[in-house]
Chain A
Amino acid sequence: MTSSAPSSSGQGSSTAVRGRGAATRQQAPAPTRRRPLRYKAYPYLFMLPALVLVAMVFAFPIVQGFWTSLHEPMPRITERGAFVGFGIYADLLENPAFWNSMTNSVVFVLGTIFGGTLLALVFALTLYYAPALNKTLRALSLVPWLISGVAVAWIFRFWFNADVGIMNRITRVFGYDPGTWLGDPDRAMFVIILANTWSLLPFGTLLLLAALQMLDRDLFDAAKVDGASPWQLFHRVTLPQLMPHLGLVLVVLSFSAWNTFDLVLAMTEGGPRGATEVLALFMYRRAFRQLDFADGAALMVIILLINIVLSVGYLYWTRERN
């Protein structure tokens, strides 16, 4: 790469040479004259605002949070108690509420990604083969993704309300009243998974639709000539080509599901009796309701670690594809 030679950084002198275009530039690293010093400073100046923002809002807080998690909590949240190493983590690992939230998160994530990936595939195929209105349908498909978690929570609370919700209305027509949804531990988990799937699904659908549109048409034609049935076409031709994208959707969905907070807080606040308290909610409760910022910071680190593991999976999938 030309970037290895720092003197190739600037632009603008010897325009005659550079004017020949990008291809020339790639092979001819050195410009004929050295750039004035300020040209060298430009790229750094341009990057500075982004670097400062990221440092302030991401890097520094993460370091500070990690440091906090190594100390005893204090009544004043800006102070830190005695240094205890990983003692806070050790205590957390013995806290049943932590494991409860871990289990809930795993159920929540698995439910979201399996239902979500399957539905995303079905809907992507639907949009791909839709005989008409393709553009309208595609535009519609992304709408749930635009809606805030809080609004999604209200929409589904209404949908599953025991008195006025349409779910119970429909079942009552058949003579069965399921009663409360969000007041029942298992059903509440089902409803938050459903709502979360609804809100995250569009991204997966969109990705798979884009992937479908990039598929190799020749393979289809060849398989059709060989007399493949539609199911065989899908199973043997489409699906193998889609596999990497399905993996990507799984990872992206699980990434979002692990960090879902707004929707669950606004829907159940973690209830009934902690049945829907996912990891992010547990962190929020420990830090902001019970004012234990050491636990909160340790949970931040744990959430970050989970995300790093997922990202490695993401990178693995993208590597695999290229």
Chain B
Amino acid sequence: MARAEIVQPESPSRFERLRQWTRGRLVWLMVIIFVLWTAGPLSWSLLSSFKPRAEIYQGTILPQSPTLDGYRTAVGVDGFEWFLFNSILLATVSTVIAVFVSALAAYAVSRFAFRWRHVLLLFVLLPRLVPRISLIVPLYQILVEAGLLNTYLALIITYSASNVPLGTWILVGFFRGVPREIEEAAEVDGANMWQRMWRVVLPLALPGLITVGVLSFRDAWNEFPFVLAFTTAREMRTLPYALFLLDDAIGIQDWAAINAFALLTILPIVTIYLIFERRVVAGLTSGALK
């Protein structure tokens, strides 16, 4: 279209206006498609989670008589408190461990020159290339031998370890960005190494720590293969595992309850993400582009 217009230079302003008009509309059309694609599936689930069971089978889009029955059924699933507790516990503890361990390693790499530094860093970073699903076979054997099936310990160790490679990678970048002079000034004032790390470097690298924290939390909150393979006891399940088994748990397919349950598992992580959105986006892109 634009090409055709260029051939007629006698009225550029009119065609320029026309072009602007179409381009403006086109962008809006794309924005609408983008929003539909991204939010459509979610909103359909959200709307349906408020419908009474019978209404799901009728053709209405908006809930005609909104109800919280779906949410009641979801929360009422046998053992829901356990699943919620396990998810929060595992995600929180493994995030704290992952951030702490990554920060220590990244501090060492970015502040000290020592023998084998690059080899050791590579050893810590390489597991980024190892998909977690491939590990469930040998890890299961190891955990059986160690008698660690159905334990928080097994899940906490595996969850934390999965997030150390990316965490270290991101934090090395952030620590390198903290000027050495600040740390040296603190040293002149008599701060020892722990004080320098805790009071000077970590606060300055806080955006990095938050990024790693959110990423680790997301990963642990959504984790599925490990908890599927390494737990058999019902009270060890997490929310994703319970969601996986949900149609067995509530008998006939109650779509309002299924959607409600799914949304309940999504809500916390989306909330956390929205709070730290800008940091996470920056951290993610830097992690991938570097």
Which residues of A line the B interface, CB within 8 A?
Answer: 1-3, 5-6, 8-12, 15, 18-19, 21-22, 25, 40, 42-44, 46-47, 49-51, 53-54, 56-62, 64-65, 68, 77-78, 119, 122-123, 125-127, 129-131, 133, 137-144, 146-151, 154-156, 158-159, 161, 163-164, 166, 169, 198, 202-203, 206-207, 210-211, 227, 229-231, 248, 252, 258-259, 261-262, 265-266, 280, 283-284, 287-288, 293, 296-297, 299-300, 303-304, 307-308, 311
Contacts of A227 in B (CB 8 A): 6
Q: Which of B6, B112, B131 has a CB less than 8 Å from the CB of A43?
A: B112
Whether A143 contacts B285 by the Cβ 8 Å rule is no
Whether B41 contacts A159 by the Cβ 8 Å rule is yes
Which stretch, B78-86, B159-167, B204-212, touches the partner chain A?
B159-167
Q: A9-B112, A283-B134 are in contact. List 4 more A-B contacts (CB 8 A).
A: A46-B104, A123-B37, A151-B265, A206-B284
Instruction: Give the shortest distance, in Å, between A210 (CB) and chain B (any CB).
Output: 4
Bound together, the chains give a CA A139 to CA B284 distance in angstroms of 13
Whether B24 contacts A131 by the Cβ 8 Å rule is yes
Contact of A57 with B135 at beta-carbon distance under 8 Å, contacts A49-B104, A229-B3 already known: yes
Instruction: Give the shortest distance, in Å, between B281 (CB) and chain A (any CB).
Output: 6
Return 9 A-B CB contacts under 8 Å, by A number: A6-B114, A9-B112, A19-B188, A43-B108, A57-B161, A58-B127, A65-B135, A65-B137, A127-B34
Whether B255 contacts A158 by the Cβ 8 Å rule is yes
Whether A150 contacts B44 by the Cβ 8 Å rule is no
Bound together, the chains give a CA A157 to CA B123 distance in angstroms of 40
Contacts of A284 in B (CB 8 A): 133, 136, 225
The 5 closest A-B pairs by CB, nearest first: A65-B138, A148-B222, A259-B131, A57-B161, A46-B108
Q: Which of A9, A46, A64, A166 has a CB less than 8 Å from the CB of B44?
A: A166
Whether B255 contacts A164 by the Cβ 8 Å rule is yes
Q: Does B221 contact A (CB under 8 A)?
A: yes
Contacts of A123 in B (CB 8 A): 34, 37
Contact of A142 with B273 at beta-carbon distance under 8 Å, contacts A137-B35, A164-B56, A164-B255 already known: yes
Q: Which of B27, B137, B266 has a CB less than 8 Å from the CB of A151?
A: B266
Q: Does B42 contact A (CB under 8 A)?
A: yes
Q: Does B233 contact A (CB under 8 A)?
A: no
Size bracket of the B interface: 35 or more
Contacts of B136 in A (CB 8 A): 284, 287-288
Instruction: Give the shortest distance, in Å, between A276 (CB) and chain B (any CB).
Output: 16
Contacts of B59 in A (CB 8 A): 169
Q: Which of B221-236 contact A (CB under 8 A)?
A: 221-222, 224-225, 229
Bound together, the chains give a CA A198 to CA B113 distance in angstroms of 44
Whether B161 contacts A54 by the Cβ 8 Å rule is yes
Whether A47 contacts B105 by the Cβ 8 Å rule is yes
Instruction: Give the shortest distance, in Å, between A60 (CB) and chain B (any CB).
Output: 7
Bound together, the chains give a CA A132 to CA B23 distance in angstroms of 14
Whether A58 contacts B187 by the Cβ 8 Å rule is no
Of the candidates B42, B131, B188, the one having the most CB atoms from chain A within 10 angstroms of its own CB is B131
Bound together, the chains give a CA A18 to CA B183 distance in angstroms of 11
Whether B270 contacts A154 by the Cβ 8 Å rule is no
Instruction: Give the shortest distance, in Å, between B60 (CB) and chain A (any CB).
Output: 10
Contacts of B218 in A (CB 8 A): 146
Whether A50 contacts B104 by the Cβ 8 Å rule is yes
Contacts of A58 in B (CB 8 A): 126-127, 130, 135, 161
Q: Output the nearest chain B residue to A29 by Cβ-Cβ distance.
A: B113
Q: Does B216 contact A (CB under 8 A)?
A: no
Contacts of A300 in B (CB 8 A): 134-135, 137-138
Q: Which of B145-192 contact A (CB under 8 A)?
A: 145, 157-158, 160-162, 164-165, 168, 179-181, 183-185, 187-188
Instruction: Give the shortest distance, in Å, between B239 (CB) and chain A (any CB).
Output: 8
Q: Which of B1-58 contact A (CB under 8 A)?
A: 2-3, 6, 19, 23-24, 27-28, 30-31, 33-35, 37-39, 41-42, 44-45, 48, 56-57
Contacts of B115 in A (CB 8 A): 6
Contact of A248 with B288 at beta-carbon distance under 8 Å, contacts A47-B124, A169-B59, A198-B37 already known: yes
